[in-house]
Structure 1
Amino acid sequence: MRQRVMRVAVVAVLVALVLLATPLALGIQTSFFADERDELERTALAAAVHVPPFVVGGHVGLPPHERGIDVGVYDLSGRLRNGSGPRADAVARTARKGLVVRGRGDHRLVVAVPLSTGEQVIGTVRASSSTAEVWRRIVLAWLGLAGIALVALATAVAVARRQARTLSAPLEALSAKAGAVADGDLTARAEGSAIAEIDRVARTQNTMVEHLTRWLEHERHFSSNASHQLRTALAGLQLGLEAAATGPDAEQRAAVTEALEQVRHLQRTVDEVLRLARATPRPGVPTTARPATEVVEGVERRWHGTFATGGRRLGVAVEPGARGLSIPDRAAEQILDVLLDNALRHGRGTVRVTVRETGGAAAAVDVSDEGSLELGLRAVFERGATTSRGGSGIGLTLARELAEAAGGRLTLGRSEPTTFTLLLPVTEPPPSDGWVPRRRPDGRCPMGDVPQV
């Protein structure tokens, strides 16, 4: 990366220097020759002004001139009357016509001007200088130009090296973070830089790693979530089948019916756990919903015998304002199973399930017992946290994930007595007419175990 940036910068500077220096060098050459001819013309004109009219055989005086310039005065016959120079050449002869003539001859620059008195040309003044001296000055100017170009190139290389380091350092750091992620360090995050494009790539990589981390954690928790949820349903199924195997024929049908209900619930549990494993880890919209009364009836039927076997009491109640509210049934069943199992294992006394309206687009389900919670409000929902040695420490974490996946929320209302509150979105408003609770097959009202709150 650094070498490539430097090569691009150096090539660009070289092209710019060539495009700039070539016409500049040609301009220097043209300018120096033009300046030399102008100097020769000025010298010749000054001599022509100062030379007095002369007669044949008379002395001709010349004014002083610069060193390296030959100045000669010629008469109309082409004879050199004073100064230095060869016999009158074509340039000097052309100047007899009253013209200022510039030309070259024998590696010299030549300028000739007419010498006149009144309106009559009586001779010419010729000035010349060597082209070698002009080329010497041109070469020196070119060398100065080349030196300036080298300084510019060295400056460009230094700037390119610094810019290459500025550009490559964030990319090298980004590559190092990507390598760390590839090696399994999902906590590695790319840092921002002063370059907007690289900073955008870093943010995109961090977002990708965060999503990947959530997905991997999601998949990692799936097996523990599935085993936790399936264990409760399998336990209920085992109790039903054991009762069917040991009881009389009259009770066998009821036991088998209850076992079949447990099997159906087990199937729903498998579907819900699989849905949670496939779902994007963010609040979603549930696919099915049922009245909250039906949901708590089913929960009460499944857990009534289990609590009775343990010498505990389970009661459910629905406040008048919450009758007829429809909630996500599968998520609610799974979460209530977790909360009831948690209350049975770690709680004490009577367990109460109360459904109430919150006054908004959500229904609240409170699950409370007569025990107290030893863990803090934050630690209670952490994966692996448990209040006893017999727990796995993932039930409440799973319940919160199920609630969030259904668009709801699970919180700890009170530590003593322990009360968990489940908020679920309401999919249908309550009916305007009265509501009559459904009765269980044995004729008892499932809401009659606990007085209405």
Structure 2
Amino acid sequence: MRQRVMRVAVVAVLVALVLLATPLALGIQTSFFADERDELERVALAAAIHVPPQFVAGDHVELPAHERGTDVGVYDLSGRLRDGSGPRKADAITQAARGGAVTRGRGDHQIVVAVPIATGEHVIGVVRASTGAQQVWHRVILAWLGLAGTALVALVTAVVVAGRQARTLTAPLEALSAKAGAVADGDLTARAEGSAIAEIDQVAHTQNAMVEHLALRLDHERHFTSNASHQLRTPLAGLQLGLEAAAADPDADLRAAVTEALEQVRHLQRTVDEVLRLARATPRPGVPATARTAAEVVEGAERRWHGTFAAEGRRLDFGVEPGGGGPRIPDRTAEQILDALLDNALRHGRGTVKVTVRELEIAVAVDVSDEGSLTLDRRAAFERGATTSRAGSGIGLTLAREMAEAAGGRLTLARTAPTTFTLLLPVTEPPPPPE
């Protein structure tokens, strides 16, 4: 592109120089020849003044001094050279001046001017002044060479300026290309910088937005496997334990075991849908958003986790403040977040775990607290891998916050001692009554 910009600039300057220099060169030629004719006319007029009336009677004429290379001659009406220098017989231009008018012309590579000599109203002779056209052409060529030199200087200046402008224009594009190459090589942190050119800045802004979107997409894809395995681990483990317990006990109620297994399977299906929805960052087409009351969501979490906490010798309490269980919230999102928070409390917390549901004006708050304390910073608690240990993968809280934000809610660390997480979810509209 740099060469193309320079080529366009140089061609434009060349066209401008040709359009300007051609008429100027013609003007120089015309002007030099016109000036030379005017000078010859002044010389001839000066000589005519020195011709006395007795010229007709044959008196000698004393011509004034003139430049070297200029011929000045006085001719009588018969066309004979009487005094001065010039052809012996008057040429056609000199003979034409006998009519009483100044005549100009060229002949035999000379510039000729003839001025009539008049006494009273009668022409008594003609003064002829001439010079070689070669001398005028010499001055014209020198002027043309000066004009060509000026044009050459202008062209060189244009090339230098065009080169600087080309570098100014192409440097941001080259930098933008380098950033695009870095992104193509896998560096998603590369960002195009701004420049002084609005159009290139717009391209850079578009590229940065594209890279941001691509990085977000790849981040979702990269974390999908870990998110899915983390969320599917708990329901699969519960389903396996329930089926193994029923198979090991010959007196077990198989119908109750199957019912419980079906409930675990339904929860597992909801978990898969929610993880897929989070991976796409947008709700999946064709899958309507479901909602249930906060009380129903909490009751389901109690059924799933009560036995797990009891097996660890820990207590799990659920409480719903007056009016807090009635509002409808996104049930699948709430279930997954509650599972992540309870799993975090089971693995990293201690003592009794308490879940409290509160109603706000346009949202429902769910507090999950235990008797332990958190030493991490409030922001670091939600960073992926911040709490990695032998007991966990360190992505539960991160995934829970992402789910809450995807549903239009928010998950925060309310207190560090005792550890308390607060989930805010928007209240959904109740379904329309059947007609």
- CA distance 1:357–1:50, change in 2 (3 Å): farther
Q: Which residue of 2 aligns with 1:180?
A: 182
Distance of 1:6 and 1:293 partners within structure 2: 74
When normalised by structure 2's length, the TM-score is 0.93
Equivalent in the alignment of 1:231: 233
| 1:15-61 per-position Cα deviation (integer Å, ceiling 9, x unaligned) | 22112111111111111111111111222222223322223221112
Contact preservation (8 Å) 1:40, 1:111: yes
2:395: which partner in 1?
A: 394
SS of residue matched to 2:75: strand
In the other structure, the counterpart of 1:200 is: 202
Tell me if the contact between 2:56 and 2:124 (Cα under 8 Å) persists in the aligned partners. no
Relative to structure 2, which stretch is displaced further, 70-79 or 215-224? 70-79
Letter in 1 for 2:177: S
- Alpha-carbon distance in 2 for matches of 1:136, 1:19: 24
**What pairs with 1:52-451 in structure 2 (closer than 5 Å)?**
52-53=52-53, 54-86=55-87, 87-247=89-249, 249=251, 251-280=253-282, 287-359=289-361, 361-386=362-387, 388-428=389-429
Aligned to 1:442: none
**Please, what is the CA RMSD of the aligned residues?**
2.0
1:320 CA displacement: 2.1
Extract unaligned runs of 5+ from structure 2: none
What's the secondary structure of 2:57's corresponding residue?
coil
- Name the CA shift for 1:415/1:317 in 2 (closer, same or farther; >3 Å): same
Q: Is the 8 A contact 1:286 1:406 kept in 2?
A: no
Which amino acid is the alignment partner of residue 189 of structure 2?
A: T
Tell me how far apart the structure 2 counterparts of residues 315 and 204 of structure 1 sit (CA, whole Å).
51
Cα distance in 2 between the residues matched to 1:313 and 1:248 = 30
Q: Secondary structure at the match of 2:149?
A: helix
Give the match's secondary structure for 1:59: coil
Q: CA deviation at 1:66?
A: 2.8
* CA displacement at 1:377 relative to structure 2: 1.0
Deviation per residue, 1:85-105 (Å, 9 max, x gap): 112111111111111111111
Q: Which letter does structure 1 place at the counterpart of 2:198? A: A
**Alpha-carbon distance between aligned partners in 2 of 1:329 and 1:125, rounded to the nearest angstrom:** 120
Range that drifts further, 215-224 or 10-19: 10-19
Q: CA deviation at 1:286?
A: 7.8
Q: What is the count of residue pairs matched by the alignment? A: 427
Deviation for aligned residue 1:107? 0.5
Q: Distance in 2 between matches of 1:69 and 1:387?
A: 109
Structure 1 residue 272, shift from structure 2 partner: 0.8
Whether the aligned pair in 2 keeps the contact of 1:407 and 1:424 (CA below 8 Å) is yes
In structure 1, the partner of 2:19 is 19
Between the aligned partners of 1:231 and 1:164, the Cα distance in structure 2 is 60
Other-structure match for 1:46: 46
Deviation per residue, 1:317-376 (Å, 9 max, x gap):
2222434211111111100000011111111122111121233x2221111111111222
Task: Give the CA deviation at 1:248.
Answer: 6.0
Aligned-partner residue type, residue 302 of structure 1 = R
CA distance in 2, matches of 1:353, 1:263: 24
Confirm or deny: 8 A CA contact 2:246 2:252 kept in the other structure: no
Q: Amino acid of the residue matched to residue 327 of structure 2?
A: L
Amino acid at match of 2:310: A
- State the TM-score, normalizing by the size of structure 1: 0.90
Residue type of the partner of 1:12? A
Contact between 1:244 and 1:253, CA under 8 Å: does it hold in 2?
Answer: no
Task: Answer yes or no: is the 8 Å Cα contact 1:288–1:329 preserved in 2.
Answer: yes
Q: Deviations over 1:205-247 (max 9, x none)?
A: 2222221111111101000000000001111112221332244
Runs of 4+ in 1 over 6 A off after TM superposition: none
Q: Which amino acid aligns with 1:4?
A: R
Q: Give the AA of the match of 1:221.
A: H
1:250: how far off?
6.3
Deviation at 1:393, TM superposition (A): 0.4
Displacement after TM superposition at 1:251 (Å): 3.8
CA distance in structure 1 between the aligned counterparts of 2:332 and 2:375, rounded to whole angstroms: 30
- Letter of the structure 2 residue corresponding to residue 8 of structure 1: V
Instruction: Tell me which amino acid in the other structure corresponds to 2:423.
Output: L
**CA distance in 2: counterparts of 1:337 and 1:113, whole angstroms:** 120
State the 1:263 CA deviation. Answer: 0.7
Q: Which segments of 5 or more consecutive residues in structure 1 lack a partner in the other structure? A: 431-453
Q: CA deviation at 1:388?
A: 3.8
Residue 2 of structure 1: aligned partner: 2
Return the letter of the residue paired with 2:28.
I
Q: In terms of mean alpha carbon deviation, does 306-315 or 95-104 score higher?
A: 306-315
Matched residue type, 1:334: Q
Secondary structure of the corresponding residue to residue 192 of structure 2: coil
* Counterpart-to-counterpart distance in 2, 1:427 and 1:44: 112
Percent of residue pairs identical:
82
CA distance in 2, matches of 1:267, 1:250: 26
